[in-house]
Amino acid sequence: MVYTPRSTRHGALLLGTVAVLGLLTACGNGHDVHSNPPVTDSGTAAPATGGTESPASGASGPAATATGAAASSSVPKANPSTSGGGTTASAAGTRCHTSELRASVGRNDPGAGQENFPVVLTNKSGRTCTLRGYPGAAFVNSSGTQLGPDPKREPGSPATITLKPGQSAWAGLTFSNPGISGAKTATPAALVVTPPDERDALKVAWSGGAVPVSGNSSSVFLSVFSPGTAP
């Protein structure tokens, strides 16, 4: 047995007591050194809703009600990249949003077995904005279900159209007369129209009669926007 002097044992006891007190103090000071920093989830702002008229479907065929809700789960809801090409940063920054526009369908101008309707978007806001490319569009029934496939795009050269408050732009909606083509038809309750590069749509009551939805020559076509309200 090794003899340890009493003074040495007393010093070791004091050092041990000091160490224990120091540990207790560190644990009771109210700071947890292992706690994680707070995490903030980033969100995405909902697109603007509004408008009192209707949408139609383009290459992506979006459709929604005037309040911004989808007309039907069977109808696409977005109309991305409808410009038909790249847009400048300034054009993108001044783009007309759905809530700033009013939609309407002009009078039919038939010819050579074709039905031709101008789809018109009018700037109802108090600022100047721009449109470029094709609208989205879809025919829907009274319950909001899409009738027929999405319209196709006619070849065209998109141009940026500047709309001052109250000014309009139009895009052509054309299809072969079903009585001549023999296509199967349906009579829509509305046309749903989505402005270029927007997600929300406008709904316009349809009074143009039966439209082709399947069979021979049933395709519906859309043209790029041009200034004004009609050809």
HEC string of the chain equals: CCCCCHHHHHHHHHHHHHHHHHHHHHHCCCCCCCCCCCCCCCCCCCCCCCCCCECECCCCCCCCCCCCCCCCCCCCCCCCCCCCCCCCHHHHHCECCHHHEEEEECCCCCECCEEEEEEEEEECCCCCEEECCCCEEEEECCCCCEECCCCEECCCCCCCEEECCCCEEEEEEEEECHHHHCCEEECCCEEEEECCCCCCCEEEECCCCCEEEECCCCCEEECCCEECCCC
pLDDT at position 68, please?
A: 35
pLDDT at position 133, please?
A: 97
Average pLDDT over the chain, rounded to whole? Answer: 74
Lowest mean pLDDT among 32-36, 74-78, 104-108, 132-136: 32-36
What is the mean pLDDT of the segment spanning 156-164?
A: 96
* 152 pLDDT above the threshold of 50: yes
Would you place residue 216 in the very low, low, confident or very high pLDDT band (cuts 50, 70, 90)?
Answer: confident
* 10 pLDDT above the threshold of 90: no
pLDDT at position 80, please?
A: 54
pLDDT at position 177, please?
A: 94
User: Domains (ranges, CATH) in the chain?
Assistant: 89-227 (2.60.40.10)
> What pTM, to 2 d.p., does this model score?
0.65
Q: How far apart are CA 150 and CA 193, in angstroms?
A: 12
What is the mean pLDDT of the segment spanning 146-150?
A: 95
Would you place residue 116 in the very low, low, confident or very high pLDDT band (cuts 50, 70, 90)?
Answer: very high
pLDDT at position 217, please?
A: 87
pLDDT at position 231, please?
A: 84
* 112 pLDDT above the threshold of 60: yes
